[in-house]
Amino acid sequence: MSVPTAPSAAPVKLGVRSLEHCNLISAETAKLAAEKGCIAIPTLVAYDALWLEGKALGLGPTEFDKSVVRSGGLKSLEIMHDAGLPMAFGSDLLGGLRKYHCMEFELLAEVLTPAEIIRSATVGAGGAVPDDGADRDDRRGGVCGSDRGGWGIRSRISRCCKGMGRICR
């Protein structure tokens, strides 16, 4: 089995603005991405959910045993945080794995502060939505799935965080 390496900075240099997953991002790429105004969407839970349920879903070990990528996830949060790269909340889960959506908050809490996590799910998520001239209020918390004007954000985050005292105190 080959060990994945840090992805190239070429997409950032070519103008890609939204960086998904980022589990193996290098400090140099994170710094460049921050300078270029990119936003990262870590989606760390995607790999944890596959690890937890992949076998039951009939996936082979190469699909669910992503130990290098999973272990790189928390380190990537530190790298992106230190580089000043803005982050938006996302889970990238489909079907039966959606039940793990809010586990992303727990993973983020290993490195980020509660304020940074809430910011990623609201302001950061809104910033990840392309600016197509829409009213700013329509984009607030866009990826988080808020109601128009952002009022649905608080209740959705509260439901996700229920029982996760270290984040929602």
Query: How many Cβ atoms sit within 10 Å of the Cβ of residue 40?
Result: 28
**Ordered domains of the chain (ranges, CATH):** 10-164 (3.20.20.140)
Residue type, 65: D
Residue partners of 80: CB distance under 8 A and separation at least 6: 22, 25, 30, 40, 42, 87
Residue partners of 109: CB distance under 8 A and separation at least 6: 117, 164, 166, 167
Task: Write b or e for each residue in 9-36: b if 16 or more Cβ atoms lie within 10 A of its Cβ, otherwise e.
Answer: beebeeeeebbebbbbbbeebbbbbbee
pLDDT of residue 129: 57
How far apart CA 43 and CA 20 sit, in angstroms, is 7
Could you read off the pLDDT tens digit of each residue along the chain, which spans 169 residues?
Answer: 444 456 678 888 888 888 888 888 999 999 999 999 999 999 899 989 988 998 898 888 887 777 788 888 889 999 999 999 999 888 888 888 999 988 999 999 999 999 888 888 887 666 665 555 544 443 333 333 333 333 334 444 444 444 444 444 3
User: Helices 114-121 and 152-161 meet at what angle, rounded to 10?
Assistant: 130
pLDDT of residue 128: 60
Q: Which two tokens stand for residue 32?
A: 């460049």
Residue 87's DSSP bridge partners are 40
pLDDT of residue 17: 85
pLDDT of residue 152: 39
Residue partners of 92: CB distance under 8 A and separation at least 6: 20, 21, 41, 43, 45, 46
Residue type, 20: E
Residue type, 113: T
How far apart CA 121 and CA 150 sit, in angstroms, is 11
Q: Which two tokens stand for residue 77?
A: 């949060």
Taking the whole predicted model, whether its pTM rises above 0.75 is answered as no
